[in-house]
Chains A and B, each alone.
Chain A
Amino acid sequence: MKLEVEGLTVYFPYESIYPEQVEYMRELKRALDAGGHALLEMPTGTGKTAALLSLIVSYSIHKNFKFKLLYCTRTVHEMEKTLAELRLLASHLPTPTSLLALGLSSRKNLCVNPHVLSAQSRDSVDAACRRLTASWVRSLAHDSPQVPTCPFFESYDRAASAGPDALLLPPGVYTLGDLRSFGRSKGWCPYFLARQMIRYANVVVYSYQYLLDPKVATIISKEMQKECVVVFDEAHNIDNVCIEALSVSIRKQTLEGATRNLTQMSQEIERLKATDAGRLRAEYNRLVDGLAQRGNLAITDAWLGNPALPDDILKEAVPGNIRRAEHFLSVLRRLVQYLKSRLLTEKVETENPVNFCAAINSQAGIDQKMLKFCYDRLHSLMLTLEITNTDEFMHIQTVCDFATLVSTYARGFSIIIEPYDERMPTIPDPVLQLSCHDASLAIKPVFDRFQSVIITSGTLSPIDLYPRLLNFSPVISRSFTMSLTRDCICPMVLTRGSDQLPVSTKFDMRSDPGVVRNYGRLLLEMVAAVPDGIVCFFVSYSYMDGIVNSWNEMGILQDVMQHKLVFIETQDVVKTTLALDNYRKACDCGRGAVFFSVARGKVAEGIDFDRHYGRLVIMFGVPFQYTLSRILLARLEYLRETFQIKEGDFLTFDALRQAAQCVGRVIRSKADYGMMIFADKRYSRHDKRSKLPGWILSHLHDAHLNLSTDMALHIAREFLRRMAQPYDKTGCGSKKTLLSEEDVMKMSEGAMDTY
């Protein structure tokens, strides 16, 4: 259907539209018109992606494709979903438009060379690819044909060099799978084709890292023009992504690996000196001229960029004392040695970058400037040495990463050395962490560079905290609610157990046997009353292990098993995947199942428990972060000093967005229904509750705020009976929730009249 949003013709791929989608589009259009950033919260299952894509693509058609859309997703799975949605949209566009949209992912997901694909991890695929396509390998192969190269890349290169501006990819929407099959049929390398084509594409869908991690962003997204619209979907955790992009942690294994790498490199240098000293000299001369890198690198040689943000990188010549390869290696050796000595500490140490650099300078004799150039110098050296198995050199790269970051940033970072994990003090596991506290650092270049940045998710509450955390000023920030034909979500706050005593996971109460028993009773009552799947979220792995053990001893678990099978998330990804598969099977065949999972775990973030896979989700406790963690404490302090965000506010915000994220797993569409139980007395307090997203709050009746187990059970039974009744999907009268084309016309006319 076509609809008018404030004078713009929007092509929408479905026959009918939800009213909140129209609202969403209107706000989005205003943000685009104003050329500013926007923060939009809309519940899952209301077609956020479809609304976003339709509006921006239509807007771009309106402007004759002057700007492109960069759509960032968290996972490959989401990327595929977005592209599928986009393809549907493309088939509804007016015929002469030539929309080119594609997904970009790592080599592991795009490579079609069977030889390369046999490698296991992402890094080894990258290395295997480099081994076949690096410029020196190719020039070698040019002379001696027995050197293996990648046939896909070679034929792609020939096609690309024939006409540099020739459009290699016909217009259309390409998912990763499409790119692969296109590459296979043409014999071209899909990865480099995609890398090339993002310059010409109208829509690019890729992962957050491609914009936020400076290492990747400088390579991939450098050439994107200012008039791009950037969308971060499912962005409730965007601050954590930003922080992770600039944080480095070094363990004992890293340093040992780095030492090995150094030895290998020095051998290589010796060999080179004997055979081809000219190459080393050429590098030296280049460095004197102030070129950290070899001018124009071939696309295949380009490698992860500098970890610091582009604005902060020095545009100077590399300092003299690390220009020679041997000297540089000895500097690195001293650095590694120094870090090793720091790891030997027996107590926790926290330091700021300035002090740390001073300590390096005095004890290892490496000044700040040298540290700053570490990464670029290493990069240059590895190119000179023609090292292709980059995966083996990860360790020394990590060390250089660390050195460059620690010397570039004086604020917003801290260095924490912990001799052992706080929770397992008996096992020595020293780790040196450079942790970034300021999420705004990594995202700042994105805000500065691009005209409009749209941050959107199902849970962005409280919406006023995000601009402060990320330090930007949105022109639009709004939270939308869901229009429903029936009350298909039923949130409840359970504060008391069946014996009327309060339940909570507060530190002083959590191990109380009464609380444990009350939680167990709650689960037991619910498994008997709720069909198919139930998901339980606990605040941490250790708490889950503890409570499941106690339930086992009390015999509660055995009673639960009479009604439903029990599956548990573990830290092992393979086991968890298996457990999830079997959980789904048990739900399908009617046996019923309970899944025990952890807030902030993999399952809480990425797995949907829609329809019968999750009729009820129970959130046991408030998922606060581990508040004794040094990193968290340092970050809290920084937030208080810099952004005036109180510790308590941030912790509550973080806990509640996790809780909302967990319970939001059960409802993925309007036809679905599900219940959510927040089982902790602290949820009934206003300061906690009010931070839940609006679409949950609007269904949280006052009567459901202070329940005991038996009352919750009664409400659950009633709700399930009500939801099982047949219903009219379109809604009627004033509660109209599915709009046809005429309805939208009427609505906009009505809006005109009121103005």
Chain B
Amino acid sequence: MYGAGVAFQPTSSAGGSSKEKKRRDEDDEEEEDDNEGKGTDAWERAYADERSWEDLQEDESGLLRPIDTKTLVHAQYRKRLLLRSSTGGSVASRIQKGLIRYFYIVIDLSRAASETDYRPSRMAVVAKQAEAFIREFFDQNPLSHVGLVTMKDGLAHRLTEIGGSPEAQIKALMGKLECCGEASLQNALELVHGYLSQIPSYGHREVLILSSALTTCDPGDVMETVQRCKRAKIRCSVIGLSAEVFICKHLCEETGGTYTVALNESHFKELLLEHAPPPPAIAEYAAANLIKMGFPQRGAEGVVSICSCHKEAKVGGGYTCPRCKVRVCELPTECRTCGLTLVSSPHLARSYHHLFPVAPFDEVSPHGRPGQRLPTTCFGCQQSFVGQGGAQPSLRTSCPKCNQFFCIDCDIYIHESLHNCPGCESQHNSSV
């Protein structure tokens, strides 16, 4: 029989937040009468969530070894890279991407978000990862805008206006964490639809729903709302935290979004970050049109001026709109007075690489083709491919254009951060 599991709980790792500790104390008190608890005993969690045995595998001689996570990660990375380049069309044909994104994140704060299958709770995990995502998002899409919407008590509520500042969004999100009631997909979609239908046509309208709930409690026919979103060209994506829900799948299929379900926290993070790079442009918007933009100057230090976004006097910093000379605090944004899109040139430059991605490198077998001599060092970091002491040679790749060889770490760095191939760039220079 499983006695009161509370007796041997102190080994629990997660460095008890005050909240969890409080809950444990409650458990202690209710030990007798709360036998039908929802499977939250500490011993059970330790087994259920950590699953430490899964990190081990048996090798050919019967010894237990930790799974070689590094090669696993590399393999995953390669797979993702190839997938990305194949879905984004062939490398040769230049695809358009929606660089100016108007992105609403809908956070589910219904009753289901208080469940503790993610620790400490689904809500806390969602908030934490959403914060990381917002930063990453602005890093990759400096020209884009994000807004937050929450669902609770059967209603949808706009937490923040759509805007270009990560800090403001994160601050607003962290202040509002409590969950109760039902989630309503329809209300959330209607709300977002109302806001997104006003934005200019060059912007890409996207919604990402982080859904904990398995049910949606709607006032009307949600199918109609899905169709309206489809007509308004709003790309809806959903990340579920527990299981596949038909209506979410339907929504994503109809509007061209993606639907994924997280297995655990790290998987959730991965899925969330997949939404950071800009998606391919929708065909109807593919026609190129010109957008008026202003490049404001940074205000001089020590000048007092009234800022248009906060409606108060501020000292120093800030930017001045080139058209109407009003002061704004942060870039990128839209001028409150004249409606001009205000950006800085680094923003544009940082968005540029999405349009010309580095082609995925070909994998090269460590031994090479017969009769071909391979260089022994990586072109990028100059480290030897042959590991110390005759260890298994690590994976290497070569750029299809310049045929230089790179180690896998450099490969990751080039594709994820640098966005330029050092081999090609140096060739270019030498030819000039």
Contacts and interface: CB of A to CB of B under 8 A. Distances in A.
A718 to B, nearest CB: 9
A63 interface: no
Contact of A611 (B39, B246, B260): B246
Given A589-B223, A720-B244, A525 B215 contact: no
Interface in A588-633: 588-592, 611-612, 615
A564 B112 CA distance: 13
B185 interface: yes
Contacts of A589: 216, 218, 221-223, 247
Contacts of B355: none
A572 interface: no
A531 B35 contact: no
Contacts of B44: 710
Contact of B247 (A521, A588, A724): A588
Nearest to B220: A589
Given A531-B214, A588-B223, A591-B217, A720 B243 contact: yes
Given A590-B216, A725-B261, A531 B244 contact: yes
A612 B246 contact: yes
Given A498-B35, A714-B39, A722-B263, A587 B48 contact: no
Nearest to B2: A500
A531 B243 contact: yes
Nearest to B47: A714
Contact of A590 (B2, B117, B248): B248
A714 B48 CA distance: 8
Q: Which of B2, B245, B246, B261 has the most chain A CB atoms inside 10 A of its CB?
A: B246
B245 A532 contact: yes
A525 B48 CA distance: 17
A612 B242 CA distance: 15
Interface in A37-95: none
A721 B245 contact: no
Q: Which of B2, B240, B261, B263 has the most chain A CB atoms inside 10 A of its CB?
A: B261
Nearest to A498: B36
A529 interface: yes
B113 to A, nearest CB: 13
B188 to A, nearest CB: 12
A500 B243 contact: no
B216 A725 contact: no
Nearest to B246: A612
A530 B214 contact: yes
Contacts of A721: 242-243, 261-263
Q: Which of A500, A532, A724, A725 has the most chain B CB atoms inside 10 A of its CB?
A: A724
Interface string B412-425: 00000000000000
A500 B1 contact: yes
Nearest to B182: A562
A658 B388 CA distance: 65
Contacts of B1: 500
Contacts of A500: 1-2
A302 B304 CA distance: 105
Nearest to A518: B36
Contacts of B240: 724
Contacts, number: 87
Q: Which of B2, B247, B263 has the most chain A CB atoms inside 10 A of its CB?
A: B247
Interface string B234-253: 00000010111111101000
B245 A531 contact: yes
Interface in B28-66: 35-36, 38-39, 44, 48
A587 B244 contact: no
Contacts of A722: 263
A717 interface: yes
Q: Which of A498, A532, A588, A590 has the most chain B CB atoms inside 10 A of its CB?
A: A590
Contacts of A564: 215
A717 B261 contact: no
Contacts of B221: 589
A726 B274 CA distance: 15
Contacts of B244: 531, 720, 723-724
B38 A563 contact: no
Interface string B186-221: 000000000000000000000000000011111001
B179 to A, nearest CB: 14
Contacts of B38: 525, 710, 713
A48 B253 CA distance: 30
Contacts of B217: 591
B246 A530 contact: no
Contact of A592 (B35, B48, B215): B215
Contacts of A714: 39, 48
A753 interface: no
B271 to A, nearest CB: 10
Nearest to B183: A590
A717 B44 CA distance: 14
Nearest to B259: A724
Contact of B243 (A529, A587, A710): A529
Interface in A701-725: 710, 713-714, 717, 720-725
Nearest to B250: A588
Contacts of A531: 214-215, 242-246
Interface in A556-592: 563-564, 587-592
A563 B244 CA distance: 16
Contacts of B112: 528
Interface in A643-699: none
B82 to A, nearest CB: 15
A528 B248 CA distance: 17
A311 interface: no
B36 A499 contact: yes
Q: Which of B1, B221, B245, B248 has the most chain A CB atoms inside 10 A of its CB?
A: B245
B242 A720 contact: yes
A564 B263 CA distance: 24
Q: Which of A499, A530, A589, A726 has the most chain B CB atoms inside 10 A of its CB?
A: A589
A290 B159 CA distance: 93
Nearest to A726: B260
Interface string A527-543: 01111100000000000
Contacts of A498: 35-36
Contacts of B250: 588
A720 B261 CA distance: 9
A592 B214 contact: yes
Nearest to B36: A498
A369 B48 CA distance: 75
B36 A724 contact: no
Interface string A721-753: 111111000000000000000000000000000
Contacts of B185: 590
A528 B243 CA distance: 11
Interface in A212-268: none
B246 A588 contact: yes
A590 B222 CA distance: 9
Interface string B1-35: 11000000000000000000000000000000001
Contacts of B214: 528-532, 563, 592
Nearest to A722: B263
26 contacts: A499-B35, A525-B38, A529-B242, A563-B214, A563-B215, A564-B215, A587-B246, A588-B246, A588-B247, A589-B218, A589-B222, A590-B185, A590-B245, A590-B246, A591-B216, A591-B218, A615-B243, A717-B117, A717-B243, A720-B242, A721-B262, A721-B263, A723-B243, A724-B244, A724-B261, A726-B260
Given A590-B216, A591-B215, 20 more contacts: A499-B35, A500-B2, A525-B38, A528-B214, A529-B242, A531-B214, A531-B215, A531-B246, A588-B223, A588-B247, A589-B216, A589-B223, A589-B247, A590-B218, A612-B246, A710-B38, A713-B38, A720-B243, A721-B263, A725-B261
Pick the 6 closest A-B CB pairs, nearest first: A590-B247, A724-B261, A720-B243, A612-B246, A724-B244, A710-B39
